[in-house]
Chains A and B, each alone.
Chain A
Amino acid sequence: MEALDLELDAGELELPAEPMHLNMGPSHPAMHGTVRIVLELSGETIVKADVQIGYLHRGFEKMCERGTWAQVFPYVDRLNYVSPMLNNVGYALAVEKLCGLSVPDRCQWYRMALGELARISDHLTCDGAMAMELGAFTPFLWFVKAREMVWDILEEETGARLTHSFGRIGGMAEPPTPDFKGLCRAGLPKILDLVEEGERMLLRNRIFLDRLENVGAISRADAIALGWTGPCLRATGVPYDIRKAHPYLKYDEVDFDVPVGTKGDTLDRFLVRLGEIRQSKRIIEQVLERMPDEGPLNCDDPRVVLPDKMAVYTTIEATIQHFKLIMEGARVPSGEVYSYTEGGNGELGYYLVSDGSGTPYRVRIRPPCFQITGGLSKILEGRMLSDIVPTFGSLNMIGGECDH
């Protein structure tokens, strides 16, 4: 019998094959919210990835049009639900820009401290969940333990662990408790200890580094053209941080660095977030030194700020003011404004349109992770199936924010 393999051409040995379609989600173990990724695979390599969001669309922008300006705060909390204080502060700043108000110094320091605590909680969750999805369950438990400490401080201050609704137009809902500085100063070193323990476990592990290094890389120009901001952009080498570039509150009076990566891959994003936790701790320590212990917290503009409760019960003017602010809402001057702050994921912007009444005409949130998730299909092309989990985890897509 003649040898079969001598006469055949290399080209003729290829069997006709169609690419395989695989559906990931919308309910899958990567606990970052619900996203559906429809993959076209050739073997293990991803040929095309269609990222479908919208499974957590809750109609935030439509709901804002039904209530008053102050009734938007609970909705805003549930956008980026791992760092709700940053959303609160961002929205309060946006409405204050429209009203032309500026809050007293004590409130500005307080907002900064609470915001940075929320940022620490955000980064701990992201990095912990990323480690867990790769199989490293213990650092996740340590990071969640550290996050519980942050939530204890926030619970003492605001009354709620997660969705505080603590911001108000013209200030905050309650003044800081007398124990606030003590709690922060006691808790922050412990949080950093846990972060360091987790780092020691992860960053010398060959398997962890191999799964993250050079995976999901993106270039500077691509990231900018896609509209990426925040830790994902800083991992590519662009040192754009709104707290430095366009300072708001008192960020120009505190000293901190902006961690920047080099290659824009998943490992850089992981490390940038860990670095930011340390910088947030630095900021909080400086804020606690500078924040005055006494003094007014809210600005005293009667058009937006609720009057003191005892005055409401005893004087008629305060009762009327309270009634009008609650029933009709703070009458914000008409116009439109775009106000942006550094959220946990990047530039968190609010575009507000007011028609002069107590109800917002249009509240548009610019969600940072919407743009970032838009670039996911680009950075997944050509990678392998198992690269999806760390890459997607490092983008920190929060469903509530992305699908608003």
Chain B
Amino acid sequence: MSQLVLEKLRQRFGTAILETHAHFGDDTAVVDAGMWRTVGQFLCDDPDLDFDMPIDLCGVDYPERVPRMEVVLHLYSIAKAHRVRLKTRVGDADMAGAELDSLVSIWPGLDWLEREVFDMSGVRFRGHPDLRRILMYPEFEGHPLQRTYPADKTQPLVAYRSEAEAGTPLEKLEPFGPDEGMPFGRGGLPRVAEDI
């Protein structure tokens, strides 16, 4: 993978690009959150880079680090056939200050993707035309893909029937005792060293 994209970014923005790498062949640049929109505009407008297709936007939660939420944007250029991954980090331990500029005016395809990042990870996008939940229902509280949200905490919209009403037992049988079975989210297991 040529280093063209990362070099142009470093030349143009200097210290706003916090780090770059190209592990596994994917060009990646970590950008300062305040420069998110400017870097995006440059990537779209520059004739050598010409990133016209937004591929994906998602959030990855690293709760033991501040800033906690990493927002990852993948871009592709149809004409030049190159890709880039742009990352930035927002939000402190309580997700305060998790705000970014919206890039919908540059790539309209990010409309729903930004709504999804807001819904699942809790990052707000300034300037988004219609920032509301997309995958969850409006009455849902919390942001499910944050690692602090318990995976099996349901917020039912319809109250479940009672056993008396149903005439049969409705509860799930617990297959395991409280200290048996796989913990949900295997954070308790020891991590392994990087090189194997």
> Given A62-B151, A227-B107, is A328 in contact with B136 using a C-beta cutoff of 8 Å?
no
Contacting pair A336 B23 (CB below 8 A): yes
In chain A between 204 and 256, which residues have their CB closer than 8 angstroms to a CB of chain B?
A: 221-222, 224-229, 238, 240, 245-246
In chain B between 1 and 43, which residues have their CB closer than 8 angstroms to a CB of chain A?
A: 23-24, 26, 28
Contacting pair B24 A97 (CB below 8 A): yes
Which residues of chain A have C-beta atoms less than 8 A from B52's C-beta? Answer: 221, 224-225
Using an 8 Å CB-CB cutoff, how does the interface string of B80-92 with A read, 1 for contact, 0 for none?
0101010000000
In the complex, whether A362 has a CB less than 8 A from a CB of chain B is yes
Instruction: Point out the residue from B23, B28, B186, B193 that lies within 8 Å of A356, measured CB to CB.
Output: B193
Instruction: Point out the residue from B60, B74, B111, B192 that lies within 8 Å of A349, measured CB to CB.
Output: B74
Contacting pair A335 B74 (CB below 8 A): no
> Given A238-B78, A366-B74, is A225 in contact with B135 using a C-beta cutoff of 8 Å?
no
The closest CB in chain B to the CB of A404 belongs to B135
- Among the interface residues A226, A349, A373, which one has the most CB atoms of the partner chain B within 10 A? A226
Contacting pair A349 B56 (CB below 8 A): yes
Contacting pair B194 A225 (CB below 8 A): no
In the complex, whether A102 has a CB less than 8 A from a CB of chain B is no
Contacting pair B189 A328 (CB below 8 A): yes
Number of A residues with CB within 8 Å of any CB on chain B: 54
Whole-angstrom CA separation of A356 from B185 in the bound complex: 15
In the complex, whether A331 has a CB less than 8 A from a CB of chain B is yes
The closest CB in chain A to the CB of B61 belongs to A362
In chain B between 37 and 93, which residues have their CB closer than 8 angstroms to a CB of chain A?
A: 52-56, 58, 60-61, 72, 74, 78, 81, 83, 85
The closest CB in chain A to the CB of B147 belongs to A65
Number of B residues with CB within 8 Å of any CB on chain A: 48
Whole-angstrom CA separation of A358 from B144 in the bound complex: 22
Whole-angstrom CA separation of A331 from B191 in the bound complex: 9
> Given A338-B26, A357-B191, is A225 in contact with B56 using a C-beta cutoff of 8 Å?
no
Which residues of chain A have C-beta atoms less than 8 A from B145's C-beta? Answer: 61-62
Interface SS of chain B: helix, strand, loop or mixed? loop
In chain A between 311 and 352, which residues have their CB closer than 8 angstroms to a CB of chain B?
A: 328, 331, 333-338, 340, 347, 349, 351
Which residues of chain B have C-beta atoms less than 8 A from A374's C-beta? Answer: 109, 111-113
Contacting pair A59 B56 (CB below 8 A): no
Which residue numbers of B lie inside 8 Å of A, CB to CB?
A: 23-24, 26, 28, 52-56, 58, 60-61, 72, 74, 78, 81, 83, 85, 107-113, 116, 120, 133-137, 144-145, 147, 151, 182, 184-186, 189-196
- Beyond contacts A356-B192, A357-B192: 14 other A-B pairs, Cβ-Cβ < 8 A, are A54-B134, A54-B135, A61-B145, A98-B24, A227-B110, A245-B81, A336-B28, A337-B26, A349-B74, A356-B191, A357-B189, A357-B191, A374-B111, A375-B109
List, sorted by A's number, 19 A–B pairs whose CB atoms are closer than 8 Å: A54-B134, A65-B151, A65-B185, A67-B182, A225-B53, A227-B53, A227-B109, A331-B192, A336-B23, A336-B28, A338-B26, A349-B56, A357-B192, A358-B189, A359-B186, A366-B55, A366-B56, A370-B116, A371-B112
